[in-house]
Every structure is written in C-alpha cells, then in structure tokens.
Chains A and B, each alone.
Chain A
Amino acid sequence: GIQVEQSPPDLILQEGANSTLRCNFSDSVNNLQWFHQNPWGQLINLFYIPSGTKQNGRLSATTVATERYSLLYISSSQTTDSGVYFCAGEGSGGSNYKLTFGKGTLLTVNP
C-alpha cells in the first residue's frame, strides 16, 4: 500500500500567524482529503482535493498530483484551529476507497 508522510509532526503558533502543512505520498493517490480532528475525536472534512487548489475561508489547499504531494495553508490562525490535521488518500491501484492516513500534524495555536 501507499505510504503517507506528513510534516511537521508538531507545530506551535501564535494567534494570527500563518502556517503550511505538507503531505507526501509514496505513489499516485486518488480521493485525497484533509481532515481536522477535534478534541472529541471527530474528523471534520476540510477539503476533498485530488488535484488543484481550493479555498474555504482562512484555509486553502493545493494538491500537485504529478509530484505526489498536497499542502494545507492556514492563514491568520486562531486558537480554535488547534488540533490534529490529517491527510489521507487511496492508492491509485484501485482499492475500493480504502483511505491511508498520515500520522498527522498536531497544531497548537496560543493566544
């Protein structure tokens, strides 16, 4: 199966700062998604982004499928952005939508 590498593993920011989270894949992927896991464990869908760029408020994401990576940008961070951010994708070999997750980035935004 594919390998998913996320960086950085931990990130501490002051409120108002910007950040970039990265996700590298060992092979081509389908159905690439970014999630935010809240303190109660629920996964919040941020972006479904197999390719291209999308924006939603202070968040945006870019996937360069040919180079097997995706970036998540957080601008003007707020304390409520704290939590774990995961990227996940399905190997392009056709695995019936089985998502492989990275290990996550633990983001802490301090006031």
Chain B
Amino acid sequence: GAVVSQHPSWVICKSGTSVKIECRSLDFQATTMFWYRQFPKQSLMLMATSNEGSKATYEQGVEKDKFLINHASLTLSTLTVTSAHPEDSSFYICSAPRRLNTEAFFGQGTRLTVV
C-alpha cells in the first residue's frame, strides 16, 4: 500500500531556533500534501495545504511566516517552524492522498518540544 514517511519522529529545540520537518510519499507522487497539528488529548487540526510547484495555502489563524512550507518535488514537502517558541510544541503530522477521492495516508508524525 501507499506509504508516507515523516522525519524526524521527535525533536527538541531551543526557543528561537528553527526546525524543519520532512514529509515524503514513498511509492506515489503527491501533488498535494497536508500538514496537521495535534495538541495533547485533542484532535487533528489542518494547518495548511502544500501544493507542488506553487505556494501553500494556510488555514485561518495559521501564521504563514512562522510555518514555512515548501513542496519542491512530487514526493517531498517540508514544514519549517521558524523562531520556535514553547507554545509551538505540538505533534505535527502530514498526509497525502494517492490521488483525489481516495484514502489519505499519514506520516508517523513529529513530536516537537521547544524548550
């Protein structure tokens, strides 16, 4: 089946630094990928849609300058949390559908802790 791989699985960084998270589709090309955030004991909230070859689209309330998204190839999207602060600590997870109107697959997630 389709597989989406996310790296790293967890990261601890100092306040003020930037962290990059990678999301790869391993056996299919994904022109669109999605980034979600999940706070402890809460549901997943969509942050942004990553579009290959064009700008990402962000959900209301998500700061595009803080959460930089790059979708440089058909198999890789990256999320960079810039100038991270403790309130950015969360579980970040990406997803990609093999094609529209089929099931979406999710990466393993990245647990970010900002200290």
Contact = CB atoms under 8 A, between A and B. Distances in A.
Interface in A78-111: 86, 88, 96-104
User: Main SS of the interface on chain B?
Assistant: strand
Interface residues of A, number: 21
Contact of B34 (A45, A48, A99, A104): A99
B108 A98 contact: no
Interface in B7-50: 32, 34, 38, 42-46, 49
Interface residues of B, number: 23
Nearest to A99: B104
B103 interface: yes
A35 B38 CA distance: 15
Interface stretch (A17-25, A36-44, A56-64, A65-73): A36-44
Interface of A: 30-31, 33, 35, 40-43, 45, 48, 86, 88, 96-104
